[in-house]
Amino acid sequence: MRRRVPPWAVDASIVLLSAGEYLTVRSRVEPLVAATYVLAVAALVFRRKWPVAVTLVTVPAAASGYLWLAPLAALATAAATVPARLAVYGCAALMFFAAASPKSVAEARERTVDEWAATLIGPALFSIGPTAWGQLVRTRRELAARLRELQHSKEQERRLSVEMAVVEERARLAREMHDGVSHHVSLLSMEAHLLALEATDAEARSRAERIGELGGRAVDELRDVLGVLRGTGTRERLPRLSELPGLIEASGLPVQARCSVPTEHPGLTPDRELAVYRTVQEALTNAAKHAPGSRITVSVAVVVAVSAAESVSVSSGAAELCVDVVNSPSAREGGRGGGKERQGHGLVGLRERAVRLGGSMTAGQEPDGGFAVRVRLPLPAGHSADHPPGLPAARLADRAAGHPWTAPAAGSPTAPPPDRGAPRPVPAT
Protein backbone atom coordinates (compact mmCIF):
# COMPACT_ATOMS: atom_id res chain seq x y z
CA MET A 1 0.00 0.00 0.00
CA ARG A 2 1.39 3.41 -1.01
CA ARG A 3 2.24 5.67 1.91
CA ARG A 4 0.67 9.12 1.81
CA VAL A 5 2.68 12.23 2.60
CA PRO A 6 1.30 13.97 5.72
CA PRO A 7 -0.57 17.23 4.96
CA TRP A 8 1.66 19.22 7.32
CA ALA A 9 4.72 18.11 5.33
CA VAL A 10 3.13 19.29 2.08
CA ASP A 11 2.16 22.65 3.61
CA ALA A 12 5.65 23.16 5.06
CA SER A 13 7.28 22.37 1.72
CA ILE A 14 5.08 24.83 -0.17
CA VAL A 15 5.73 27.61 2.36
CA LEU A 16 9.48 26.99 2.30
CA LEU A 17 9.62 26.94 -1.51
CA SER A 18 7.57 30.15 -1.73
CA ALA A 19 9.82 31.81 0.85
CA GLY A 20 12.86 30.73 -1.15
CA GLU A 21 11.35 32.22 -4.29
CA TYR A 22 10.79 35.49 -2.44
CA LEU A 23 14.42 35.59 -1.33
CA THR A 24 15.55 35.40 -4.97
CA VAL A 25 13.57 38.50 -6.01
CA ARG A 26 13.51 40.70 -2.91
CA SER A 27 16.46 42.80 -4.07
CA ARG A 28 14.71 43.68 -7.34
CA VAL A 29 11.36 44.90 -6.03
CA GLU A 30 10.25 47.92 -4.07
CA PRO A 31 9.46 47.64 -0.33
CA LEU A 32 5.68 47.84 -0.91
CA VAL A 33 5.81 44.98 -3.42
CA ALA A 34 8.06 43.01 -1.09
CA ALA A 35 5.45 43.44 1.66
CA THR A 36 2.79 41.89 -0.58
CA TYR A 37 5.16 38.98 -1.17
CA VAL A 38 5.70 38.41 2.55
CA LEU A 39 1.94 38.60 3.16
CA ALA A 40 1.26 36.06 0.37
CA VAL A 41 3.85 33.60 1.71
CA ALA A 42 2.55 33.92 5.30
CA ALA A 43 -1.06 33.46 4.16
CA LEU A 44 -0.21 30.03 2.69
CA VAL A 45 -0.24 28.63 6.23
CA PHE A 46 -4.05 29.09 6.25
CA ARG A 47 -4.76 28.01 2.67
CA ARG A 48 -6.63 24.83 3.73
CA LYS A 49 -8.82 26.67 6.23
CA TRP A 50 -9.68 29.78 4.16
CA PRO A 51 -8.76 28.92 0.55
CA VAL A 52 -10.67 31.76 -1.16
CA ALA A 53 -9.40 34.44 1.22
CA VAL A 54 -5.79 33.26 0.87
CA THR A 55 -6.15 33.28 -2.93
CA LEU A 56 -7.34 36.89 -2.85
CA VAL A 57 -4.39 37.82 -0.61
CA THR A 58 -1.94 36.40 -3.18
CA VAL A 59 -3.43 38.31 -6.13
CA PRO A 60 -1.24 41.45 -5.61
CA ALA A 61 1.86 39.25 -5.64
CA ALA A 62 0.71 37.71 -8.93
CA ALA A 63 0.21 41.17 -10.43
CA SER A 64 3.91 42.00 -9.99
CA GLY A 65 4.94 39.11 -12.21
CA TYR A 66 7.82 37.93 -9.99
CA LEU A 67 6.23 35.66 -7.35
CA TRP A 68 4.47 32.61 -8.82
CA LEU A 69 4.47 29.71 -6.35
CA ALA A 70 2.28 31.31 -3.68
CA PRO A 71 -0.57 32.31 -6.08
CA LEU A 72 -0.39 28.93 -7.84
CA ALA A 73 -0.65 26.97 -4.59
CA ALA A 74 -3.47 29.14 -3.26
CA LEU A 75 -5.56 28.90 -6.46
CA ALA A 76 -5.02 25.12 -6.74
CA THR A 77 -6.12 24.63 -3.11
CA ALA A 78 -9.25 26.72 -3.68
CA ALA A 79 -10.16 24.69 -6.78
CA ALA A 80 -9.62 21.41 -4.89
CA THR A 81 -11.54 22.27 -1.71
CA VAL A 82 -14.22 24.88 -2.49
CA PRO A 83 -17.45 23.27 -3.74
CA ALA A 84 -18.77 26.53 -5.26
CA ARG A 85 -17.38 26.53 -8.79
CA LEU A 86 -18.42 30.14 -9.42
CA ALA A 87 -16.14 31.34 -6.61
CA VAL A 88 -13.26 29.24 -7.98
CA TYR A 89 -13.74 30.57 -11.53
CA GLY A 90 -13.94 34.11 -10.19
CA CYS A 91 -10.60 33.69 -8.38
CA ALA A 92 -9.03 32.24 -11.55
CA ALA A 93 -10.31 35.17 -13.68
CA LEU A 94 -9.07 37.68 -11.11
CA MET A 95 -5.66 35.98 -11.09
CA PHE A 96 -5.54 36.10 -14.92
CA PHE A 97 -6.37 39.81 -15.17
CA ALA A 98 -3.92 40.65 -12.37
CA ALA A 99 -1.08 38.85 -14.15
CA ALA A 100 -2.00 40.02 -17.67
CA SER A 101 -2.67 43.71 -16.96
CA PRO A 102 0.04 46.09 -18.15
CA LYS A 103 1.84 48.29 -15.63
CA SER A 104 0.58 51.48 -17.25
CA VAL A 105 -1.70 52.82 -19.97
CA ALA A 106 1.28 53.81 -22.10
CA GLU A 107 2.60 50.26 -22.01
CA ALA A 108 -0.80 48.95 -23.11
CA ARG A 109 -0.83 51.35 -26.09
CA GLU A 110 2.63 50.40 -27.21
CA ARG A 111 1.90 46.65 -27.41
CA THR A 112 1.14 45.13 -30.78
CA VAL A 113 -1.27 42.28 -31.41
CA ASP A 114 1.53 39.75 -31.42
CA GLU A 115 2.90 41.17 -28.18
CA TRP A 116 -0.57 41.00 -26.56
CA ALA A 117 -0.94 37.37 -27.66
CA ALA A 118 2.47 36.47 -26.27
CA THR A 119 1.77 38.38 -23.06
CA LEU A 120 -1.58 36.65 -22.41
CA ILE A 121 -0.28 33.09 -22.82
CA GLY A 122 1.58 33.14 -19.51
CA PRO A 123 -1.28 34.54 -17.36
CA ALA A 124 -3.72 32.14 -19.05
CA LEU A 125 -1.60 29.16 -18.12
CA PHE A 126 -0.99 30.76 -14.73
CA SER A 127 -4.74 30.75 -13.96
CA ILE A 128 -6.06 27.76 -15.94
CA GLY A 129 -3.37 25.29 -14.86
CA PRO A 130 -3.90 25.44 -11.05
CA THR A 131 -7.67 25.54 -11.51
CA ALA A 132 -7.69 22.43 -13.69
CA TRP A 133 -5.30 20.62 -11.34
CA GLY A 134 -7.38 21.46 -8.27
CA GLN A 135 -10.63 20.37 -9.91
CA LEU A 136 -8.96 17.12 -11.02
CA VAL A 137 -7.96 16.42 -7.43
CA ARG A 138 -11.48 17.27 -6.23
CA THR A 139 -13.07 15.00 -8.85
CA ARG A 140 -10.72 12.17 -7.90
CA ARG A 141 -11.68 12.52 -4.23
CA GLU A 142 -15.37 12.52 -5.08
CA LEU A 143 -14.98 9.40 -7.23
CA ALA A 144 -13.07 7.67 -4.42
CA ALA A 145 -15.81 8.58 -1.95
CA ARG A 146 -18.51 7.27 -4.29
CA LEU A 147 -16.53 4.09 -4.81
CA ARG A 148 -16.35 3.58 -1.05
CA GLU A 149 -20.08 4.17 -0.79
CA LEU A 150 -20.67 1.66 -3.56
CA GLN A 151 -18.48 -0.92 -1.83
CA HIS A 152 -20.29 -0.26 1.44
CA SER A 153 -23.65 -0.66 -0.30
CA LYS A 154 -22.54 -3.93 -1.88
CA GLU A 155 -21.28 -5.22 1.46
CA GLN A 156 -24.54 -4.23 3.14
CA GLU A 157 -26.50 -5.88 0.36
CA ARG A 158 -24.40 -9.02 0.78
CA ARG A 159 -25.09 -9.05 4.54
CA LEU A 160 -28.79 -8.58 3.90
CA SER A 161 -28.73 -11.47 1.43
CA VAL A 162 -27.01 -13.66 4.01
CA GLU A 163 -29.52 -12.65 6.66
CA MET A 164 -32.40 -13.39 4.32
CA ALA A 165 -30.89 -16.79 3.53
CA VAL A 166 -30.55 -17.49 7.25
CA VAL A 167 -34.17 -16.49 7.87
CA GLU A 168 -35.37 -18.69 5.01
CA GLU A 169 -33.29 -21.61 6.27
CA ARG A 170 -34.62 -21.18 9.80
CA ALA A 171 -38.16 -21.13 8.45
CA ARG A 172 -37.44 -24.30 6.47
CA LEU A 173 -36.02 -26.01 9.56
CA ALA A 174 -39.06 -24.94 11.55
CA ARG A 175 -41.38 -26.44 8.95
CA GLU A 176 -39.45 -29.71 8.86
CA MET A 177 -39.37 -29.96 12.65
CA HIS A 178 -43.08 -29.21 12.89
CA ASP A 179 -44.08 -31.63 10.15
CA GLY A 180 -41.79 -34.42 11.36
CA VAL A 181 -40.76 -34.32 15.01
CA SER A 182 -43.83 -32.57 16.37
CA HIS A 183 -46.14 -34.96 14.53
CA HIS A 184 -44.47 -38.08 15.89
CA VAL A 185 -44.15 -36.75 19.45
CA SER A 186 -47.84 -35.80 19.45
CA LEU A 187 -48.78 -39.31 18.29
CA LEU A 188 -46.53 -40.79 20.97
CA SER A 189 -48.22 -38.70 23.65
CA MET A 190 -51.70 -39.70 22.43
CA GLU A 191 -50.76 -43.40 22.39
CA ALA A 192 -49.40 -43.10 25.92
CA HIS A 193 -52.63 -41.55 27.19
CA LEU A 194 -54.66 -44.30 25.50
CA LEU A 195 -52.40 -46.91 27.05
CA ALA A 196 -52.93 -45.33 30.47
CA LEU A 197 -56.69 -45.55 30.05
CA GLU A 198 -56.56 -49.19 28.96
CA ALA A 199 -53.87 -50.43 31.37
CA THR A 200 -55.02 -52.61 34.25
CA ASP A 201 -51.73 -52.65 36.14
CA ALA A 202 -51.15 -49.64 38.38
CA GLU A 203 -47.43 -49.40 37.59
CA ALA A 204 -48.01 -49.64 33.85
CA ARG A 205 -50.72 -46.99 34.08
CA SER A 206 -48.37 -44.69 36.03
CA ARG A 207 -45.59 -45.13 33.51
CA ALA A 208 -47.94 -44.49 30.59
CA GLU A 209 -49.28 -41.33 32.23
CA ARG A 210 -45.73 -40.13 32.79
CA ILE A 211 -44.81 -40.80 29.16
CA GLY A 212 -47.86 -38.89 27.99
CA GLU A 213 -47.07 -35.97 30.29
CA LEU A 214 -43.47 -35.81 29.11
CA GLY A 215 -44.59 -36.01 25.49
CA GLY A 216 -46.98 -33.10 25.99
CA ARG A 217 -44.28 -31.00 27.58
CA ALA A 218 -41.91 -31.87 24.73
CA VAL A 219 -44.51 -30.67 22.23
CA ASP A 220 -44.95 -27.39 24.16
CA GLU A 221 -41.21 -26.75 24.25
CA LEU A 222 -40.86 -27.68 20.60
CA ARG A 223 -43.60 -25.21 19.75
CA ASP A 224 -41.70 -22.46 21.61
CA VAL A 225 -38.49 -23.29 19.76
CA LEU A 226 -40.29 -23.24 16.41
CA GLY A 227 -41.68 -19.82 17.25
CA VAL A 228 -38.17 -18.51 17.90
CA LEU A 229 -36.93 -20.03 14.62
CA ARG A 230 -39.73 -18.38 12.67
CA GLY A 231 -39.15 -15.07 14.42
CA THR A 232 -42.71 -14.98 15.75
CA GLY A 233 -41.96 -16.16 19.29
CA THR A 234 -39.91 -14.95 22.21
CA ARG A 235 -37.33 -16.51 24.48
CA GLU A 236 -39.35 -15.80 27.62
CA ARG A 237 -40.94 -19.27 27.67
CA LEU A 238 -37.65 -21.12 27.26
CA PRO A 239 -36.42 -23.03 30.35
CA ARG A 240 -34.86 -21.10 33.20
CA LEU A 241 -32.77 -22.02 36.22
CA SER A 242 -35.82 -22.06 38.49
CA GLU A 243 -37.21 -25.03 36.52
CA LEU A 244 -34.28 -27.32 37.29
CA PRO A 245 -36.02 -29.01 40.28
CA GLY A 246 -38.97 -29.89 38.07
CA LEU A 247 -36.68 -31.26 35.36
CA ILE A 248 -34.83 -33.45 37.86
CA GLU A 249 -38.03 -34.69 39.49
CA ALA A 250 -39.65 -35.44 36.13
CA SER A 251 -36.66 -37.49 35.01
CA GLY A 252 -37.41 -40.18 37.62
CA LEU A 253 -33.67 -40.78 38.09
CA PRO A 254 -31.83 -41.11 41.42
CA VAL A 255 -30.40 -37.60 41.46
CA GLN A 256 -28.75 -35.79 44.37
CA ALA A 257 -29.03 -32.12 43.37
CA ARG A 258 -27.59 -28.98 44.87
CA CYS A 259 -27.93 -25.40 43.63
CA SER A 260 -26.45 -22.48 45.56
CA VAL A 261 -27.21 -19.76 43.02
CA PRO A 262 -30.20 -17.47 43.70
CA THR A 263 -32.38 -17.07 40.64
CA GLU A 264 -32.18 -13.28 41.09
CA HIS A 265 -28.37 -13.35 40.89
CA PRO A 266 -27.34 -10.31 38.75
CA GLY A 267 -25.01 -12.39 36.58
CA LEU A 268 -27.69 -14.87 35.49
CA THR A 269 -28.62 -13.79 31.99
CA PRO A 270 -31.30 -15.78 30.10
CA ASP A 271 -28.62 -17.34 27.87
CA ARG A 272 -26.66 -18.57 30.89
CA GLU A 273 -29.76 -19.94 32.58
CA LEU A 274 -30.71 -21.77 29.40
CA ALA A 275 -27.17 -23.16 29.11
CA VAL A 276 -27.34 -24.53 32.67
CA TYR A 277 -30.74 -26.08 32.04
CA ARG A 278 -29.65 -27.73 28.76
CA THR A 279 -26.46 -29.03 30.35
CA VAL A 280 -28.34 -30.77 33.17
CA GLN A 281 -31.00 -31.99 30.74
CA GLU A 282 -28.50 -33.53 28.32
CA ALA A 283 -26.39 -35.06 31.08
CA LEU A 284 -29.43 -36.69 32.73
CA THR A 285 -30.58 -38.05 29.39
CA ASN A 286 -27.16 -39.52 28.64
CA ALA A 287 -26.93 -41.02 32.12
CA ALA A 288 -30.31 -42.71 31.70
CA LYS A 289 -29.36 -43.97 28.25
CA HIS A 290 -25.75 -45.07 28.76
CA ALA A 291 -25.54 -45.77 32.51
CA PRO A 292 -28.93 -47.06 33.69
CA GLY A 293 -29.21 -47.49 37.44
CA SER A 294 -26.29 -45.17 38.22
CA ARG A 295 -26.33 -42.57 40.98
CA ILE A 296 -26.26 -39.00 39.67
CA THR A 297 -25.04 -35.81 41.35
CA VAL A 298 -25.97 -32.37 40.01
CA SER A 299 -24.22 -29.28 41.35
CA VAL A 300 -24.77 -25.65 40.27
CA ALA A 301 -22.72 -22.96 42.02
CA VAL A 302 -20.91 -19.67 41.51
CA VAL A 303 -17.19 -19.83 42.29
CA VAL A 304 -14.72 -16.96 42.58
CA ALA A 305 -11.16 -17.81 41.53
CA VAL A 306 -8.36 -15.75 43.14
CA SER A 307 -4.72 -16.53 43.78
CA ALA A 308 -3.58 -17.65 47.23
CA ALA A 309 -1.31 -14.61 47.57
CA GLU A 310 -4.16 -12.17 47.15
CA SER A 311 -5.85 -10.81 50.23
CA VAL A 312 -8.82 -9.12 48.65
CA SER A 313 -12.56 -9.07 48.95
CA VAL A 314 -14.75 -11.56 47.11
CA SER A 315 -16.05 -8.91 44.74
CA SER A 316 -12.61 -8.47 43.18
CA GLY A 317 -12.37 -12.05 41.92
CA ALA A 318 -13.39 -13.46 38.56
CA ALA A 319 -16.70 -15.26 39.08
CA GLU A 320 -17.68 -18.40 37.19
CA LEU A 321 -20.95 -20.25 37.00
CA CYS A 322 -20.03 -23.91 37.51
CA VAL A 323 -22.27 -26.80 36.49
CA ASP A 324 -21.21 -30.37 37.32
CA VAL A 325 -23.25 -33.47 36.51
CA VAL A 326 -21.54 -36.69 37.57
CA ASN A 327 -22.94 -40.20 37.41
CA SER A 328 -21.49 -43.31 38.96
CA PRO A 329 -20.78 -46.47 36.96
CA SER A 330 -23.85 -48.23 35.66
CA ALA A 331 -25.41 -50.84 37.89
CA ARG A 332 -25.81 -52.93 34.74
CA GLU A 333 -23.57 -53.97 31.86
CA GLY A 334 -20.54 -54.63 34.03
CA GLY A 335 -20.53 -51.29 35.81
CA ARG A 336 -19.55 -49.10 32.82
CA GLY A 337 -20.07 -45.35 33.01
CA GLY A 338 -21.07 -45.13 29.38
CA GLY A 339 -18.33 -42.62 28.50
CA LYS A 340 -17.16 -44.13 25.22
CA GLU A 341 -20.65 -44.18 23.77
CA ARG A 342 -21.32 -40.50 24.45
CA GLN A 343 -20.07 -38.96 21.22
CA GLY A 344 -23.37 -37.69 19.79
CA HIS A 345 -24.54 -34.23 18.89
CA GLY A 346 -25.75 -33.44 22.41
CA LEU A 347 -22.31 -32.96 23.95
CA VAL A 348 -21.11 -31.11 20.86
CA GLY A 349 -24.03 -28.70 21.21
CA LEU A 350 -23.26 -28.16 24.90
CA ARG A 351 -19.66 -27.33 24.08
CA GLU A 352 -20.68 -24.89 21.34
CA ARG A 353 -23.18 -23.21 23.68
CA ALA A 354 -20.52 -22.82 26.40
CA VAL A 355 -17.92 -21.44 23.98
CA ARG A 356 -20.42 -18.92 22.62
CA LEU A 357 -20.86 -17.59 26.16
CA GLY A 358 -17.10 -17.36 26.66
CA GLY A 359 -16.85 -20.52 28.79
CA SER A 360 -15.81 -24.13 28.40
CA MET A 361 -17.24 -27.65 28.64
CA THR A 362 -15.46 -30.90 29.44
CA ALA A 363 -16.91 -34.39 29.39
CA GLY A 364 -15.20 -37.66 30.13
CA GLN A 365 -14.90 -40.72 32.31
CA GLU A 366 -14.10 -40.46 36.00
CA PRO A 367 -11.42 -42.57 37.73
CA ASP A 368 -14.13 -44.76 39.31
CA GLY A 369 -15.59 -45.55 35.88
CA GLY A 370 -18.38 -43.01 36.02
CA PHE A 371 -18.92 -40.07 33.69
CA ALA A 372 -18.84 -36.30 34.33
CA VAL A 373 -20.03 -33.28 32.38
CA ARG A 374 -18.57 -30.01 33.64
CA VAL A 375 -19.42 -26.54 32.29
CA ARG A 376 -17.76 -23.28 33.30
CA LEU A 377 -19.40 -19.99 32.30
CA PRO A 378 -17.80 -16.63 33.20
CA LEU A 379 -20.14 -14.10 34.79
CA PRO A 380 -20.17 -10.43 33.74
CA ALA A 381 -17.66 -8.15 35.46
CA GLY A 382 -18.74 -7.01 38.91
CA HIS A 383 -20.89 -10.08 39.63
CA SER A 384 -19.34 -12.34 42.24
CA ALA A 385 -20.32 -15.24 44.42
CA ASP A 386 -21.83 -15.18 47.91
CA HIS A 387 -19.24 -17.47 49.49
CA PRO A 388 -15.44 -17.59 50.10
CA PRO A 389 -13.26 -17.43 46.98
CA GLY A 390 -12.34 -20.68 45.31
CA LEU A 391 -14.90 -22.77 47.21
CA PRO A 392 -18.43 -23.77 46.22
CA ALA A 393 -21.24 -22.25 48.23
CA ALA A 394 -22.77 -24.12 51.14
CA ARG A 395 -26.10 -25.85 50.77
CA LEU A 396 -28.97 -23.53 51.39
CA ALA A 397 -32.00 -25.78 51.64
CA ASP A 398 -33.97 -23.49 53.89
CA ARG A 399 -34.19 -20.61 51.41
CA ALA A 400 -37.54 -19.54 50.04
CA ALA A 401 -38.80 -20.60 46.61
CA GLY A 402 -36.71 -19.16 43.81
CA HIS A 403 -33.61 -19.16 45.97
CA PRO A 404 -30.84 -21.76 46.22
CA TRP A 405 -32.15 -25.25 46.84
CA THR A 406 -30.95 -28.75 47.65
CA ALA A 407 -32.87 -31.78 46.43
CA PRO A 408 -32.26 -35.36 47.59
CA ALA A 409 -32.36 -38.25 45.20
CA ALA A 410 -35.65 -38.63 43.37
CA GLY A 411 -37.93 -41.18 44.94
CA SER A 412 -36.43 -40.88 48.43
CA PRO A 413 -38.71 -40.22 51.43
CA THR A 414 -37.33 -36.67 51.77
CA ALA A 415 -37.72 -35.76 48.14
CA PRO A 416 -39.81 -32.60 47.61
CA PRO A 417 -43.22 -33.14 46.02
CA PRO A 418 -43.40 -32.10 42.38
CA ASP A 419 -45.00 -28.82 41.43
CA ARG A 420 -47.69 -30.01 39.07
CA GLY A 421 -48.78 -26.47 38.25
CA ALA A 422 -45.51 -25.35 36.68
CA PRO A 423 -44.66 -26.55 33.16
CA ARG A 424 -41.45 -28.58 33.01
CA PRO A 425 -39.88 -29.54 29.68
CA VAL A 426 -38.85 -33.11 29.15
CA PRO A 427 -35.20 -34.23 28.74
CA ALA A 428 -34.11 -34.57 25.13
CA THR A 429 -33.74 -38.02 23.68
Instruction: Determine the pLDDT at residue 375.
Output: 95
Architecture of domain 240-307+315-429: 2-Layer Sandwich (3.30)
Instruction: Determine the pLDDT at residue 292.
Output: 86
Q: Are residues 368 and 328 in contact, defined by beta-carbon separation less than 8 angstroms?
A: yes
| Strand partners of residue 324 | 299, 374
**Other C-beta atoms lying within 10 Å of the C-beta of residue 124:** 14
Cα angle vertex 263, ends 254, 370, to 5°?
A: 30
3-state secondary structure of 324: strand
Measure the CA–CA gap between 59 and 392, rounded to whole angstroms.
Answer: 83
List of the chain residues with pLDDT < 50: 307-316, 339, 341, 384-403, 410-429
Q: For residue 284, what are the CA distances in angstroms to 52, 152, 289?
A: 79, 49, 9
Tens-digit pLDDT profile for residues 360-376: 999 999 998 899 999 99
Q: Are residues 429 and 251 in contact, defined by beta-carbon separation less than 8 angstroms?
A: no
Measure the CA–CA gap between 130 and 61, rounded to whole angstroms.
Answer: 16
Measure the CA–CA gap between 133 and 98, rounded to whole angstroms.
Answer: 20
Q: For residue 78, what are the CA distances in angstroms to 20, 72, 81, 84, 131?
A: 23, 10, 5, 10, 8
Instruction: Determine the pLDDT at residue 66.
Output: 74
Instruction: Determine the pLDDT at residue 149.
Output: 93
Cα angle vertex 274, ends 364, 232, to 5°?
A: 135
Q: For residue 357, what are the CA distances in angstroms to 159, 243, 297, 343, 387?
A: 24, 21, 24, 22, 23
Tens-digit pLDDT profile for residues 325-337: 999 988 765 555 5
Instruction: Determine the pLDDT at residue 313.
Output: 36
Q: Is the dihedral of CA 3, 7, 8, 13 positive or negative?
A: positive
Any idea where the domains of the chain sit in the sequence?
7-147, 240-307+315-429
Instruction: Determine the pLDDT at residue 2.
Output: 61
Q: What single string gives the DSSP state of each residue in 110-175?
A: H--HHHHHHHHHHHHHHHHHHHHHHHHHHHHHHHHHHHHHHHHHHHHHHHHHHHHHHHHHHHHHHH
Q: What are phi and psi of 204, to 5 degrees?
A: -65, -40
Instruction: Determine the pLDDT at residue 126.
Output: 81
Measure the CA–CA gap between 261 and 385, rounded to whole angstroms.
Answer: 8
